[in-house]
Amino acid sequence: MNLEGRKIIVNKSSKELTELLKTPENYKDFMPDGLQKFETRDNGFKFGLQGMPEIALKIDEVTDQKAVLKSASSSLDFSLTATLNPISENQTEVQMLFEGKFNPFIKMMVEKPLQNFINTLTDKIEAYK
């Protein structure tokens, strides 16, 4: 299952975004309303949203072109990637991409909430100062 967020322009350089996305604590600023738990770990974080199970993510890779978060749970196989495309010295195009391997039943249950989550992340990153 693949989901995409809309492409946005962020008024930060790709280097600034790379530094921001390397630090687990910074992801709290991008979480949707209804965040009930946020806990940082060595290389990632765990969060809980109202009405959803807690999700643990690890920061897998952060470069000038992308930031990749992967599921920290062996029972869920997915990744969330933010592509970073520098437009100018102080602007970067960002797009969220979700890739997950789920059975059809799970896919049917999670597809809409995941798309909403990706849309909210996109909005929060776009509004980030």
Structural domains in the chain, CATH included, are: 2-127 (3.30.530.20)
CB contact at 8 A, 62 and 68: yes
Question: Does 96 score more than 90 pLDDT?
Answer: yes
Residue 48 pLDDT: 92
**Residue given tokens 């991008």 in the structure block:** 30
**Cα 71 from Cα 122, distance rounded (Å):** 19
Interval 40-45 mean pLDDT: 92
Residue 125 pLDDT: 93
55 Cβ partners below 8 Å, 6+ apart? 46, 47, 48, 71, 73
Residue 75 pLDDT: 80
Residue 110 pLDDT: 87
